[in-house]
Structure 1
Amino acid sequence: MNAPNDTPILLDRNSESPLWAQFRDALRLQILQGVLPIGAKLPSEAELGEQFGISRIVVREALADLVRNNLIYKIKGRGAFVAARERDEDFVSTVLGFSDEMERKGRSVRTQVLAQQLRAPTPQEIQALGLTDDTQVVALKRLRSVDGELRLLVDTVVPADLAPGLHRMRLDDRSLYDVLRRQYGVRLVRAERWIDAVLPDAETCELLQLQQPEPLLRIESIAYGANGRRLEYYNALHRCKSSRLHVQTTT
């Protein structure tokens, strides 16, 4: 089991990161990059421990985390295997951000910021977020891919008073929800979402690299904080030819 450039996995025993997490991350990278293909059988815990000079407890903890994140599965008496990648996407029915949900499933997400500015809100944004005419918003236009496939084009606005300086922050390949939580203490607790099907215009086709127009799912979302304030409004165009949106309901 070697890394993509054929160099062995190296674990830093002087690092603040625990060995099990380092080992998990190394295996995760090999799985995501296809070095360990779908269906591949992993060596036994004893073999892994001997190969990398770590205890079986460390190996077991790393493998358990990979199982929890659906990157591998175990068959009793046969061992651990690399799992097929989940294609269902649950972000529409949770308050997890797109990046957070994809990362939880072990998917590789890239985010390119196409536009990022501080500006006055449009009439639609004023109505969606319950703003006044003199309020400013931080507006983002982002292009997002999953495992190298362009998947999502998103226009997002956040009231500027919630996140001062957000319009100047580097957000490429970062989760907006994570930035809002960590930098500003902003937590989204619920959201309303509306979904319909649309045909993309020429600009959208170019950005998503569509050879020809194909139906996209348009997702409109208003997210709320614990006090009921509207914290985020977005419109997303989702290419779902190779995935499905999954919604779970309860009584």
Structure 2
Amino acid sequence: MQGPAVMDRSSPVPLHHQLKVILTEMVRSGELKPGDPFPGELRLCEQYGVSRTVVRQALVQLEFEGIVDRMRGRGTFVASPRTTQGLVQSLSGQFEDLAARGLHLRSTVRRLDVVPAPDHVARALGLPDGADVVLLERLRFVQGEPWVLAVTYLLADTITWLRETDLTEGSLYAAMDERGTRPIHGRRTIQTRAASATMAADLGIRRGTPVMLLTSVGLDRHEQPVEYFEAWHRGDRTVFEVDLVRSDAVV
């Protein structure tokens, strides 16, 4: 690893922050690439003439900012870029969100079937208990890496055209749009959970690793629920972006 041989000890900027800036620039310039191991603490101490405390403070900041992943027993590695998904002001799908950022989303359809609606799904969609719904389960990849496990429930009459739709490379919302059934507004919530053994294997993470559960109910122009989904996102690869708008209402 190259980089400045010394830091500015006359500067009022703390040494750990200077080191963090140096290492961050190496990542952003491509000198250190996602997945590359970081030099050990001792090597950084020797190269930059700083204490282990300074190095550890810099690494903690880098981990907090999502620039590195620190893995117990394995070391520190350059983190893969996190994928941003918008939550507010536009009801867009993951395919559209990522395409707008120049990223490629591919899906593996693991299940597409008509099933009795679980109780919470029937409530969300305003259906009688046990009513038939379409279950669509997809494991979704960003730039070839597993990113989210999505389980979507739709009204039963969608099954015919869904079976004829490319859901591997295509957008579900685009297909719904063509038929006038796309949700135009809804409500989304986020929770944090620990990955089960099965989910961890699907997403390429360790069991117990935090994942973010995004749930959503989508309504059409007649205020009728048409979609409910649960999307389990890798916490180390996802950032949710929220737009806030000031209300002019008098409180």
Question: Which category describes the TM-score, using the shorter chain as reference length?
Answer: 0.5 to 0.7
Distance 2:123 2:207 in 1: 34
Q: Which residue of 2 aligns with 1:129?
A: 125
Judge conservation of contact 1:145–1:151 (CA < 8 Å) in 2. yes
> Aligned runs of 1:66-215 on 2, under 5 Å?
87=82, 89-93=84-88, 94-133=90-129, 135-161=131-157, 163-169=158-164, 170-182=166-178, 184-215=179-210
SS in 1 for 2:87: helix
In the TM superposition, residue 173 of structure 1 has moved relative to its aligned partner by 2.1
Aligned length: 168
In structure 2, what residue type is equivalent to 1:160? A
1:15 aligned residue: none
Q: Please give the per-residue CA displacement for 1:155-176, whole angstroms capped at 9, x wherever unaligned.
A: 1001123x25045234222211
- 1:101-130 deviations in Å (ceiling 9; x for gaps): 101111011111111101221111110110
- Does the Cα contact within 8 Å between 1:139 and 1:167 map onto a contact in 2? no
Matched, 1:228 2:223: yes
**Kindly tell me: are residues 166 and 138 of structure 1, through their superposed partners in 2, closer, same or farther at Cα, counting changes over 3 Å?**
farther
Give the TM-score of the pair, scaled to structure 1: 0.61
Q: 1:239 to 1:197 in 2, by over 3 A?
A: same
Distance 1:223 1:98 in 2: 14
In 1: Cα distance, 2:231 partner to 2:188 partner:
11
User: In 1, distance between residues paired with 2:81 and 2:200?
Assistant: 25
- Which residue number in structure 2 is paired with residue 218 of structure 1? 213
Q: Work out the CA distance in 2 between the residues paired with 1:88 and 1:114.
A: 23
Structure 1 outlier segments of 4+, above 3 Å? 85-88
Deviations along 1:24-79, whole A, 9 cap, x unmatched?
xxxxxxxxxxxxxx989xxxxxxxxxxxxxxxxxxxxxxxxxxxxxxxxxxxxxxx
1:185 alignment partner, SS class = coil
Indicate the RMSD between aligned Cα atoms, in angstroms: 2.3
Q: What code does the residue aligned with 1:239 have?
A: R
* Letter matched to residue 224 of structure 2: R
Deviations 1:180-221 (A, max 9, x none): 112x22122111011110001111011112144310111111
CA distance in 1 between partners of 2:92 and 2:217 (Å): 13
Letter in 1 for 2:115: R
Rounded Cα–Cα distance in structure 2 between residues aligned with 1:97 and 1:175:
8
